[in-house]
Amino acid sequence: MIYGKGLGSVGKEPVLKGKVRAWLVQKQEVIAFCQARVNDGGAGAVLVLLQPGGATRHHTHPQNKSVS
């Protein structure tokens, strides 16, 4: 997941980095995450390990629900 380094933010401090990490820890589908290697985005990206079939197993988009 690429969110950028926040260099355009006020004070050049990252805003999304902390928000993304706080969101990831709340999700059942997320097994683990870590900052990306320099060649993969470094401080502007995070690698996320998801459970197999996680999103489709836990959530159904409202448009995909069948109407009886």
pLDDT digits (tens), the chain, 68 positions: 999 999 888 888 889 999 999 999 999 999 999 999 999 999 999 999 999 985 554 454 455 544 44
The tokens of 55 are what?
């999103």
**What residues pair up with 48 in beta bridges, in sequence order?**
33
Going by their DSSP bridges, the two strands 30-35 and 46-50 should be labelled as antiparallel
Domains (ranges, CATH) in the chain? 1-53 (3.30.1370.110)
Query: The whole model's pTM is what?
Result: 0.68
